[in-house]
Amino acid sequence: MGKQLAKMLVKRLGISLLTLLLLSALVFAGGQLLPGNVGRAILGPLADAASVAALNHQLGTDLPVPVMYWRWISHFVLGDFGTSYSFQLPVAPFIGHALLNSLKLAGVAFVIVVPLSIFGGVYAAMHARSWIDKVISISGLSMTVIPEFVSSIAFILIFGVWLGWLPVSATAPEGAGALTQIYHLILPSMPLVFILFGYIARMARAGTVEALDSDYTRTAVLKGLTWRVVIFRHVLRNALLPTITVVATQLGYLVGGLVVVESLFRYQGIGSLILTAARDKDFPMLEAGILTVGSIYVLATVGADVLYTVLNPRLRGGGR
Amino acid sequence: MEDALCQKGEPVMCQKGEPANGACLSETGLEVFRVNSKFQWLDRARREANDTQNHVIDEFLAGHIDRRGLLRHGSAFGLSAAVMGGLIGAPMREAHAGTPGATIRVASATPTGAINPVTVADLGGLVLLQQTGEFLIVDEPNLQLKPALATSWSANTDGTVWTFKIRKGVKFISGKTLTADDVVYSIARLADPKQGSNALSVFKGVLDPTGVKKVDDHTVEFHLDAPNGNFPYLVSSDNYNAIILPAGSDAADFQKTFDGTGPFKLDTFTPGQGVSFVPNPHYWGPKALPAKVQFTFFADQQSSVLALQGGQVDVIQQIALQGAQGLINNPQVNIINIKASTHRQVHMRTDVGVLKDKRVRQAIALTLDRPAIVKGLFHGLADIGNDSPFAPIFPSTNKSVPQRAKNIAKAKALLAAAGLSGGTELTLTTEQVQEIPDYAVLIQNAAAEIGVKINLKIETSAAYYGQATYGNSDWLDAEMGITDYGHRGVPNVFLSAPLLSTGTWNSAHFKDPAYDSLVASYVATTDLSKQREISGKIETLLLDETPIIFGYFYNYLAATAPNVTGVKVNAISQVFLAGASVG
Amino acid sequence: MSATTDSIVATLAGEPAGPPKNERLKAVLKSPIFLVGAIVVLFWIICAVFGPWIEPYSPYDDDLLNTLDPPSWQHWFGTDQIGRDIFSRVIAGSRSILLVAPLATLLGTVTGTTLGLITGYFGGIIDTLLSRVIEVLLALPLIIVALMALVALGPSDPTVIVVIGIIFAPLIARTVRSAVLAERQLDYVSAAQLRGESAITIMFVEILPNVLPPIMVETTVRLGYAIFTVASLSFLGFGIQPPSADWGLAISENYDLITGGYWWTVVFDAAATASLVIGVNLLADGIQSGFE
Q: Does C140 touch chain A (CB under 8 A)?
A: yes
A234-282 confidence digits (pLDDT tens): 677 766 776 777 777 777 777 777 888 887 787 888 888 888 887 666 7
Range from B117-121, B234-238, C243-247 that averages highest in pLDDT: B234-238
User: Which carries the bigger pLDDT value, residue C153 or residue B470?
Assistant: B470
**Pairing label, strands B219-224, B161-166:** antiparallel
Q: Does B307 touch chain C (CB under 8 A)?
A: no
Res. B22: pLDDT tops 60: no
Between the CA atoms of B40, B41, B47 and B53, what dihedral angle is there, to the nearest 10 degrees? Answer: -130
Q: What rounded mean pLDDT belongs to chain B?
A: 84
In chain B, % of residues over pLDDT 90:
52
Res. B277: pLDDT tops 90: yes
Task: Name the least confident of A163-167, B411-415, B519-523, C9-13.
Answer: C9-13
Give me the pLDDT at residue B51, please.
65
User: Which carries the bigger pLDDT value, residue A54 or residue C46?
Assistant: C46
In angstroms, what separates the C-alpha of A19 from chain C's closest C-alpha? 6
Q: Based on C-alpha coordinates, what's the Rg of chain A?
A: 24
- Chosen from B190, B192, B467 to mutate, greatest number of chain A CBs within 10 A: B467
Largest CA distance in chain C: 77
Res. B340: pLDDT tops 70: yes
Strand, helix or coil for residue B266: strand
- Report how far residue A57's alpha carbon sits from residue A51's, in angstroms, rounded to the nearest whole number: 10
Residue burial B169-185, b: 16+ Cβ < 10 Å; e: rest: ebebbeebebbbbbbbb
Largest CA distance in chain A: 86
Beta carbons of B303 and A171 less than 8 Å apart: yes
- Report how far residue A243's alpha carbon sits from residue A201's, in angstroms, rounded to the nearest whole number: 8
Strand, helix or coil for residue A87: coil
Q: Does C62 touch chain B (CB under 8 A)?
A: yes
- Chosen from A37, A42, A48 to mutate, greatest number of chain B CBs within 10 A: A48
- The full DSSP string for B340-376 is EEEEEEEEE-SSSGGGGSHHHHHHHHHT--HHHHHHH
User: Which carries the bigger pLDDT value, residue B32 or residue A207?
Assistant: A207
Give me the pLDDT at residue C199, please.
78
Closest C-alpha among B352, B380, B347 to residue B364: B347
Phi and psi at residue B146, to the nearest 5°? -120, 135
Closest C-alpha among B170, B174, B176, B133 to residue B151: B170
- Report how far residue A135's alpha carbon sits from residue A303's, in angstroms, rounded to the nearest whole number: 33
Beta carbons of B438 and C82 less than 8 Å apart: yes
Give me the pLDDT at residue A139, please.
82
Give me the pLDDT at residue A308, please.
72
**CB pairs < 8 Å spanning A and B:** 93
User: Which carries the bigger pLDDT value, residue B40 or residue C51?
Assistant: C51
User: Which carries the bigger pLDDT value, residue A318 or residue B312?
Assistant: B312
**B19 pLDDT band (50/70/90 cuts)?**
very low
In angstroms, what separates the C-alpha of C92 from chain A's closest C-alpha? 19
**A318 pLDDT band (50/70/90 cuts)?**
very low
B355-404 confidence digits (pLDDT tens): 999 999 999 999 999 999 999 899 889 999 999 999 998 989 999 999 99
Question: What residue of A is the nearest CA neighbor of C279?
Answer: A142
**A45 pLDDT band (50/70/90 cuts)?**
low
Res. C277: pLDDT tops 80: yes
Range from A121-130, B35-44, B357-366, C225-234 that averages highest in pLDDT: B357-366
Which 3-state string (H, E, C) describes B397-434?
A: CCCCCCCCCCCHHHHHHHHHHCCCCCCEEEEEEEECCC
In chain B, % of residues over pLDDT 70:
84
pTM of the predicted model, to two decimals? Answer: 0.76
**Rounded alpha-carbon distances, angstroms, from residue B454 to B256, B440, B445:** 48, 9, 8
Give me the pLDDT at residue B434, please.
85
Q: Based on C-alpha coordinates, what's the Rg of chain B?
A: 24
Beta carbons of B376 and C82 less than 8 Å apart: yes
Res. B183: pLDDT tops 60: yes
- Asked if B559 and B383 count as a contact pair (C-beta separation under 8 A), the reply is no
Instruction: Tell me the mean pLDDT in the region A285-310.
Output: 79
Q: What rounded mean pLDDT belongs to chain A?
A: 77
B357-371 confidence digits (pLDDT tens): 999 999 999 999 999
Q: Does C129 touch chain A (CB under 8 A)?
A: no
Report the neighbours of B using a cutoff of 3 or more CB pairs below 8 angstroms.
A, C
Instruction: Tell me the mean pLDDT in the region A62-66.
Output: 75
Q: Based on C-alpha coordinates, what's the Rg of chain C?
A: 22
Report the neighbours of C using a cutoff of 3 or more CB pairs below 8 angstroms.
A, B
Number of H helices, E strands in chain B: 20, 21
Q: Which residues 6+ apart lie within 8 Å of B524 measured at CB?
A: B158, B159, B226, B227, B228, B229
Res. B127: pLDDT tops 70: yes
Partner residues linked to B334 by β-bridges: B560
Instruction: Tell me the mean pLDDT in the region A170-199.
Output: 82
**Pairing label, strands B424-431, B480-485:** parallel
**Alpha-helix runs per DSSP H in A146-235:** 148-155, 178-213, 215-223, 227-230
Give me the pLDDT at residue C292, please.
60
In chain A, % of residues over pLDDT 90:
0
Q: Does B300 touch chain C (CB under 8 A)?
A: yes
For residue B301, which residues of chain C lie inside 8 Å, CB to CB?
Answer: 256
Beta carbons of C68 and B325 less than 8 Å apart: yes
For residue B435, which residues of chain C lie inside 8 Å, CB to CB?
Answer: 81
In angstroms, what separates the C-alpha of C83 from chain B's closest C-alpha? 8
Res. A2: pLDDT tops 60: yes
Res. B98: pLDDT tops 70: yes
For residue B294, which residues of chain A lie inside 8 Å, CB to CB?
Answer: 174
**C15 pLDDT band (50/70/90 cuts)?**
very low
In angstroms, what separates the C-alpha of C22 from chain A's closest C-alpha? 27
For residue A280, which residues of chain B lie inside 8 Å, CB to CB?
Answer: 462
Beta carbons of A275 and C236 less than 8 Å apart: yes
